[in-house]
Structure 1
Amino acid sequence: MRPPSGPAGLIAAALILAALPAQSVELASHRAAYRLSLDTSRPNQDVESASGAMLYEVVDRCGAWTVQQRFTLQVVGRGGQAYEMSSDYATWEAADGTRLRFRLRQATDGTVTKTIAGEARLEAVGGAGVARLTAPEDRELGLPRGTLFPMIHTVRLIEAARRGDRVLAAPLFDGTSDDGPQDTNTVIASPIPPDPAIGHAALRDLRSWRVRIAFFEPGGGSQPDYEVGIRYFENGVADELKMDFGEFAVAGKLAEFERLPGQCD
């Protein structure tokens, strides 16, 4: 079947997915550290090297999920010029996927380049809603029907993968843009069976899927603004990342992994 295209198709797909019964996806509370490096499998224009780290922590708060993500990347151009990108991102998301609080701070060479903060609510998963920003300025954004927040999007993605679906399309609002939700199109590859050779014991007995998520401006053209490739396990843990920034791409490998107690455990 041809994937939905354009905002109408994305919203219709999101409404259908929101109505489907959950398949008992249990996301793991955990802390993961990733080593980042330049992805040399594709041309990188004027970038000679890139290296850094990302720390990701997600905790089940019994009725809500909290996420903290810290990212640092040092980039060196072919002419020798160098700069450092960093970001600090945190969210609180209700377990039913209808409320989100968010805060983002991005910097280049220590100078803050973007700050976003606020909260968002949906009438219901798959319903319309509103986001109220407190930074960079007080502002309200309408959220169209079909919008998903990030944790429920991960749940729906894993549910789709378990069903054998190959595409998940939905508007996604995660608080990283003050322009509102982005249209997303996720392509899901065939399942990878459990692998006893995986270095992290908590992942060895689980299936996984490689997915590629493309982000588009609402009503935008056919080319995505940003793409990310992830290998997700059934518990929501990722051990491989590929972030395509357009001019260059970065690969991430899981270096350290720790299961964390959730408040419902």
Structure 2
Amino acid sequence: MHFARTAALTAALTMGVAVASAAPATAVAPAAAATAPAPHKAIYQMTMVQSKQPGQIVNVSGRMYYEWRDGCDAWTTDQKFALDYVYAEQNSTRFNSHYTAWESKAGNDYSFAVKRTRDGELVEEYRGTAKRAKAGVGTAKYVKPEPESLDLPKDFFFPTSHTMSLIRKANEGQKIFNAQMFDGSDGEGAVEVNAVLGPRVDKDASAQIQSPLIEGPARKIRMAFWGADPNAALPEYEMTLTLHDNGVVSGMRIDYDDFSIQGRLTALDAMPAAKCSASK
């Protein structure tokens, strides 16, 4: 139950962070037409802001580290977080997660690795690759926790291209964006992400820093994430991001069935630009 929730924090930044219904955009090469994101590293303070079932989970708190780099022919992501869950009738628990990903700018190749621990013991590990065929469909191949192949739907997105398409669609005046997205943060394959693209805003009010990276244009993006069950009446969780045109997230809120958690930006630094040859 809580393992899926830690996966949702991974989704917060990799999905556009991690994204009602418009026709899905063609995902074969969306990144080329989108705003170029800014390589950066950031730290977020995670805090529970609402409990819908008092007496069970008393508090959730921790930190998230996020790093995004431009590798000339690919984008790379490195994300770590530690969360402490405090319960009313059982011992508190520390969850740690480490997620890394490599995404080709051509939009056809992707690799991922995820490790999650509970109180220092490994509880989940996913590792594998994904590839898009010329027809737009794809295949994800896991090597951990065990060899497995999953089909990915036509015109699906990888995480960075999804984020960049969100920004581009919002700047074109689109209000709603629906897409299938795969990031490898769990074993379920692609997820459906329904996004409402809100109006222009300043940086998130919760941000505790000043930085040129969050002084530029931003929007509130409200997303609902749907899993593999086609009969589900409600999304698995919802998320609100303050997403800047350069791809930086200056604040987030994730809403589950029984509690909500806020991510406040507490540190942000630009990463060096990649030194790419003219042939790249």
Assess same fold via TM > 0.5: yes
Distance (Å, rounded) in 2 between the aligned partners of 1:152 and 1:21:
5
Instruction: Answer whether contact 2:253 2:263 (CA < 8 A) is retained.
Output: yes
Distance (Å, rounded) in 2 between the aligned partners of 1:100 and 1:39:
35
Unaligned runs of 5+ in 1: none
> 2:225 maps to which residue?
215
**Matching of residue 130 in structure 1 with residue 134 in structure 2:** no
Distance (Å, rounded) in 2 between the aligned partners of 1:263 and 1:178:
32
Specify the code of the residue in structure 2 equivalent to 1:187. Answer: V
Distance (Å, rounded) in 1 between the aligned partners of 2:203 and 2:191:
33
Query: SS where residue 210 of structure 1 aligns?
Result: strand
Count of paired positions: 253
Specify the code of the residue in structure 2 equivalent to 1:152. Answer: S
Distance (Å, rounded) in 1 between the aligned partners of 2:141 and 2:214:
41
**Matching of residue 232 in structure 1 with residue 243 in structure 2:** yes
Q: Provide closer, same or farther for how the CA distance between residues 116 and 235 of structure 1 changes in structure 2, counting only shifts above 3 A.
A: same
1:165, distance to aligned residue in structure 2 (A): 1.4
1:99, distance to aligned residue in structure 2 (A): 1.1
> 1:157 maps to which residue?
166
Unaligned runs of 5+ in 2: 1-19
> 2:99 maps to which residue?
89
> 2:8 maps to which residue?
none
Identity of aligned residues (%): 28
Distance (Å, rounded) in 2 between the aligned partners of 1:177 and 1:50:
21
User: Which residue of the other structure, out of 61, 64, 80, is the alignment partner of 2:74?
Assistant: 64
> 2:11 maps to which residue?
none
**Matching of residue 178 in structure 1 with residue 187 in structure 2:** yes
Query: SS where residue 89 of structure 1 aligns?
Result: strand
Q: Provide closer, same or farther for how the CA distance between residues 181 and 220 of structure 1 changes in structure 2, counting only shifts above 3 A.
A: farther
> 198-207 vs 237-246, which deviates more?
198-207
Specify the code of the residue in structure 1 equivalent to 2:264. Answer: K
Instruction: Answer whether contact 1:38 1:49 (CA < 8 A) is retained.
Output: yes
Q: Provide closer, same or farther for how the CA distance between residues 21 and 230 of structure 1 changes in structure 2, counting only shifts above 3 A.
A: closer
Q: TM-score, normalised by structure 1?
A: 0.87
Specify the code of the residue in structure 2 equivalent to 1:60. Answer: D
Specify the code of the residue in structure 2 equivalent to 1:116. Answer: Y
User: Deviations along 1:71-123, whole A, 9 cap, x unmatched?
Assistant: 11111123363111111100000012221100011122122221110000112
Query: SS where residue 176 of structure 1 aligns?
Result: coil
Distance (Å, rounded) in 2 between the aligned partners of 1:134 and 1:241:
32
Q: TM-score, normalised by structure 2?
A: 0.83
Q: Provide closer, same or farther for how the CA distance between residues 211 and 184 of structure 1 changes in structure 2, counting only shifts above 3 A.
A: same
> 2:177 maps to which residue?
168
User: Deviations along 1:13-54, whole A, 9 cap, x unmatched?
Assistant: 233x768795440101000001111123x6354221221000
> 1:253 maps to which residue?
264
Specify the code of the residue in structure 1 equivalent to 2:155. Answer: G
